[in-house]
Amino acid sequence: MTFRSSLKQYAQTLTKPVKRTLKRYSLVMGLLLIIFLGIKVVNTARLCLANQPSDIQEVPPENMYTDAWKQTIGYWKRNLDVGGSYFLNPLGLSHIFLSAYDQTNSNFFDHYARGAGEVWGYLATISVHGALESTGALLMTIAGLLFWISIILAIWLALMTITKKVVSRISIPVKKISLHIIQFSKDFIVLILVGIALIIVAGPIEAYISWPHILPAFTGHLWASLVYLAFLFLLIAWIFFIQLGGYGQMKRAGKSAKLLIKRLRN
């Protein structure tokens, strides 16, 4: 076996569990990402329709062309800290969506005085690296939920096992619950590692690509920014609903819901 084939086999061994895990949560991830980006787009559109550039006090443009490596280090520290806080907080999802709303408010009042093209250009620019960043943060948040669910299930199983010794008639699906705990624990490890990796990759993209190259291309170009954001929605849908099987999960969930409603009616 050559070194190249060995390396390929090793890479496949590593990527298989990652792909399986992402497929399990593809529907949830796709919907959450579309909601996250949708909040930014809808809130920006709402603010633009409700205000005129002359109504907003102009804020001097921020100098984004600082030392790229220092900016990357700062990005990693800031966003890994935020991702860690989402992971530890059972209500992390609500904080992610609130941050999307707050970010668009800040972006609007910082840039709208120079026109709608400036606002949408900045939003499109931060979405270049932000797509990876928000995906990583959401994966870490879901990992945190699985972590807390596993702990709750383990405590519940322990309590029920102790109770069973007192009341022998209680039936506890020990094996089924144990398998869920093991699966959630495996998924938790994969999701947290992939989430961290995505944030790490997003750091240099922001510093070396988004600010020096993408921002000048999008600034003031309203239609180019809107086309890119529409493309990003389609890309998210294609990856999570088509490639990772989220659409199939949606169809199965719909069938299950129909059967449940039918049983309830009968």
pLDDT of residue 201: 95
Domain count across the chain: 1
Asked, for residue 228, whether it belongs to a domain, the answer is: yes
The answer to whether 246 and 27 are in contact (CB under 8 A) is yes
Asked, for residue 38, whether it belongs to a domain, the answer is: yes
Contacts of residue 25, defined as CB under 8 A and 6 or more positions apart, other chains included, come to: 142, 187, 191
The answer to whether 31 and 226 are in contact (CB under 8 A) is no
Alpha carbons 259 and 5: distance in angstroms, whole number:
48
- CA dihedral 193→198→200→203, nearest 10 degrees, is -160
| Domain interval for residue 57 | 22-257
Per-residue pLDDT of the chain (266 residues; tens, 9 = 90+): 565 666 666 666 678 888 899 999 999 999 999 999 999 999 999 999 998 888 777 766 666 556 889 889 999 999 999 888 888 887 788 888 999 999 999 888 888 888 889 899 999 999 999 999 999 999 999 998 888 888 888 888 787 777 765 445 555 576 777 888 888 888 989 999 999 999 999 999 999 999 888 988 998 889 999 999 999 999 999 999 999 998 888 888 888 888 878 787 76
pLDDT of residue 167: 47
What are the CA-CA distances from residue 130 to residues 35, 41, 99, 152, 157 (Å)?
14, 13, 12, 33, 40
pLDDT in tens, 114-172: 888 989 999 999 999 999 999 999 999 999 888 888 888 888 878 777 776 544 555 55
pLDDT of residue 238: 96
Asked, for residue 14, whether it belongs to a domain, the answer is: no
Asked, for residue 3, whether it belongs to a domain, the answer is: no
Say how far residue 19 (Cα) sits from the centre of its chain.
16
Asked, for residue 17, whether it belongs to a domain, the answer is: no
Asked, for residue 44, whether it belongs to a domain, the answer is: yes
Contacts of residue 28, defined as CB under 8 A and 6 or more positions apart, other chains included, come to: 142
The answer to whether 101 and 43 are in contact (CB under 8 A) is yes
Tell me the chain's radius of gyration from C-alpha atoms: 23
Angle at 107 between CA 139 and CA 64, to 5 degrees: 85
Asked, for residue 71, whether it belongs to a domain, the answer is: yes
pLDDT of residue 159: 79
The single-letter DSSP state of residue 56 is: S
Asked, for residue 12, whether it belongs to a domain, the answer is: no
